[in-house]
């Protein structure tokens, strides 16, 4: 690794990138981090991973199931008495971690296990965020995941009284969380109004007047908003649906609250079941 890439690194970062060290599990900045953007090499700023390829493997280090094309070099690693595949930045050759196959965490069946100290996150500022709840979050995931203009989507929980709730806790209805999907989208490709209309139509088709009283607490419909413009658009969208159909005027609009990403097996659920 050339010296020019090392001059701005801390002692700890040099230990990882140059000396091929490893940070302690569950201590890295990006282990439990899920925002929309790109991860670049800490040494040379070369793009390495899109955030939409990041997942929770439970290993204690940031995990990705794909790389940006041509971003990673692989080497055989015979250290520690076993055969592993080391991954390094293709531009500066800085050590990132190791890659593993056949663990079945995601559809791509690949895990790039990366040290947080070897990467840096750059947010995508052109994207907007939407969070909606209404029914099972598996179906909302399916509704939006492959939609053109949607860059990133997570199933999760919002609005409750418990930190880091589990699926089992939420299903009791006692935590006051609802199942949500939170998505990041490009408003130049799909508008926030389009996002809302899809949600409202889906809810109207799923729940009728007859079964409205049977909706579980964790499945009640809420549009969570994070700015004044989204709040106003949500109000208009609901009003228009009520005027044009027998749509139930029961949709709440609420300020966005802390989002808790659901367990990994809930992410992209239906596609995982069909693989």
Residue 44 known to be catalytic = no
What are the two backbone dihedrals, phi and then psi, of residue 147, each rounded to the nearest 5 degrees?
-75, 135
Residue 34 and residue 154 in contact, taking contact as beta carbons nearer than 8 Å: yes
How many H helices and E strands in the chain? Answer: 6, 15
Within its chain, how far is the Cα of 135 from the centroid? 20
Residue 160 and residue 180 in contact, taking contact as beta carbons nearer than 8 Å: no
Query: Which residue intervals of 119-191 are DSSP H helices?
Result: 137-144, 167-171
In order of 34, 114, 115, 194, 210, the CA distances from 150 in angstroms are 15, 26, 28, 11, 33
What is the C-alpha to C-alpha distance for residues 140 and 25, in angstroms, rounded to an integer? 33
Q: Which of 88, 89, 92, 113 is catalytic?
A: 113
End-to-end alpha carbon distance in the chain: 40
Instruction: Return the active site residues.
Output: 113
């Amino acid at each position: 690794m050339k010296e020019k890439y090392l001059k701005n690194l801390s002692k700890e970062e040099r230990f990882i990138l140059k000396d091929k060290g490893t940070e302690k599990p569950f201590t890295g900045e990006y282990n439990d981090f899920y925002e929309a953007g790109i991860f670049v090499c800490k040494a040379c700023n070369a793009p390495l991973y899109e955030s939409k390829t990041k997942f929770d493997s439970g290993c204690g280090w940031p995990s990705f199931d794909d790389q940006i094309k041509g971003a990673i070099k692989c080497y055989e690693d015979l250290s520690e008495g076993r055969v592993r595949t080391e991954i390094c930045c293709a531009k500066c050759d800085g050590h990132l971690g190791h890659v593993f196959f056949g663990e079945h965490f995601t559809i791509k069946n690949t895990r790039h296990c990366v040290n947080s100290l070897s990467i840096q996150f750059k947010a995508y500022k052109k994207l907007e965020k939407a969070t909606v709840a209404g029914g099972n979050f598996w179906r909302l995931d399916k509704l939006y995941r492959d939609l053109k203009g949607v860059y990133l989507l997570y199933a999760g929980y919002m609005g409750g009284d418990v930190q880091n709730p589990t699926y089992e806790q939420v299903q009791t209805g006692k935590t006051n969380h609802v199942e949500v999907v939170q998505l990041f989208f490009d408003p130049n490709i799909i508008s926030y109004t389009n996002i809302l209309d899809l949600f409202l139509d889906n809810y109207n088709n799923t729940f009728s007047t007859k079964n409205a009283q049977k909706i579980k607490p964790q499945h009640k419909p809420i549009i969570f908003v994070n700015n004044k413009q989204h709040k106003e658009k949500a109000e208009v969208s609901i009003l228009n649906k009520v005027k044009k159909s027998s749509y139930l005027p029961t949709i709440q609009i609420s300020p966005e609250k802390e989002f808790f990403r659901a367990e990994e097996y809930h992410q992209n659920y239906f596609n995982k079941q069909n693989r």
